[in-house]
Amino acid sequence: MSLISIRNQVNTIVVIGMRQLIIQSILDFDYYAGKKEPSVTSIVTGNNGYEKFFWGNTECLIETTQSISQTTRGWFLNVLSGRRALSTGVELMHVPAVYGGVFFAENVPEQHALTLYQEAQKNEKLCIGPSSVGLLVPGYLKLGPVGGITPEQVEPIAKYIDGEVAIICGSGGMTNELIHLVSKEKLGISFALSFGGDRFPLTTPRQAFLLAQHDPQTRAIVYYGELGGEDEYDIIALKNRGELTKPIIMHIAGTVAYLFPQNPQFGHAKAKASVQRETAEAKRSALKQAGFMVTERFDQMREYLRNIQ
């Protein structure tokens, strides 16, 4: 699946579980984007019936179903608990007409996440998460709470389809912060992908960077990373092989870790440096040497964005 195909196709969504605010935000996005009908076609709740939402100022009904159907097509948004994500996720990945989807839940057991990753690769599905706020392609697809859930947050990102900056981030909150930051700089978002803060994301940062590199609308990439893990070294390897050629702004959080007598565990499961190579300082140094634009403070992001303009 590519960004080009997402922009050129009708994107429908089946939601697994019930999160009314998230679902309503997707409908608001669709409405402001000028779509003729909601992209959410059904909600798997365990009951057959209908749930009431709003389409603009008009009430609308979305079908609820007992179970996943082999006729399901398009995208899925899985908002079930972490321990329930595995069975439904594997079932969805075996449905031929499903492109992929997002796992919103935190605390998915690591063995479950590895199984989901293997199933996604085997079945060639674009699956994101766990612990992800989702995938945003302005004007075309809002798969999760990414970009916000209020109409005031959703309207601008639904209408501005000519953005040129891709946002790649593990943190859901920082993904939304970066969307706001880039939008204020008048560059606009080409797409935003929150791969999640768990140790074993189904779409890795490396895969997300290649999506951005191969997207003709994306002119530059903004990445927010953290201490822990070695994802950034995979990105360096891509650049060294000439597989990444677009301007890339990198921020690595967690430099305060040295103030603690022992390596601290920050908010995300992966955000802990077990060895020196995984520290924020080591990553920043390696990224600078490789030629990336690396911020020392988060507010420097604006300066780099203005240079891209």
Distance CA 131, CA 117 (A): 14
Between these two residues, 155 and 260, which has the higher pLDDT value?
155
- Cis link prior to 261 (omega < 30° from 0)? no
Residue 265 is predicted with a pLDDT of: 47
Distance CA 263, CA 282 (A): 14
| Phi, psi angle pair for 143, to nearest 5° | -110, 80
Residue 299 is predicted with a pLDDT of: 84
Over residues 141-145, the mean pLDDT reads 97
How many other CB atoms are found less than 10 A from the CB of residue 264? 14
What does pTM read for this prediction? 0.90
Residue 115 is predicted with a pLDDT of: 94
- CB-CB contact of 192 with 175 (8 Å): yes
Residue 256 is predicted with a pLDDT of: 47
Residue 254 is predicted with a pLDDT of: 58
Residue 272 is predicted with a pLDDT of: 46
By C-alpha distance, which of 202, 201, 214 is closest to 243?
Answer: 214
Q: What is the chain's mean pLDDT, rounded? A: 88
Walk me through the domains of the chain, giving residue ranges and CATH numbers.
Answer: 3-308 (3.40.50.261)
Q: Give per-residue pLDDT as tens, 255-277.
A: 544 444 556 545 555 544 455 66
Pairing verdict, β 13-16 and 74-78: parallel
Residue 285 makes CB contacts below 8 A (sequence gap 6+) with none
- Characterize 110-129 residue by residue with b for buried, 16 or more Cβ atoms within 10 angstroms of its Cβ, and e for exposed: eebbeebbebbeebebbbbb
DSSP string, 112-167: HHHHHHHHHHHTT-EEE-SS--EEEETTTEEESSTT-SSHHHHHHHHH-----EEE
Q: List the structure tokens of 3.
A: 């960004």
Q: Of 112, 180, 214, 268, which is the active-site residue? A: 268
268 an active-site residue?
yes
Residue 274 makes CB contacts below 8 A (sequence gap 6+) with 228, 263
Over residues 274-281, the mean pLDDT reads 70
Over residues 19-48, the mean pLDDT reads 96
Residue 46 is predicted with a pLDDT of: 87
Amino acid at 187: L
Q: Give per-residue pLDDT as tens, 35-70.
A: 999 999 999 998 999 999 999 999 999 999 998 887
Between these two residues, 147 and 172, which has the higher pLDDT value?
147
Q: List the structure tokens of 246.
A: 């677009």
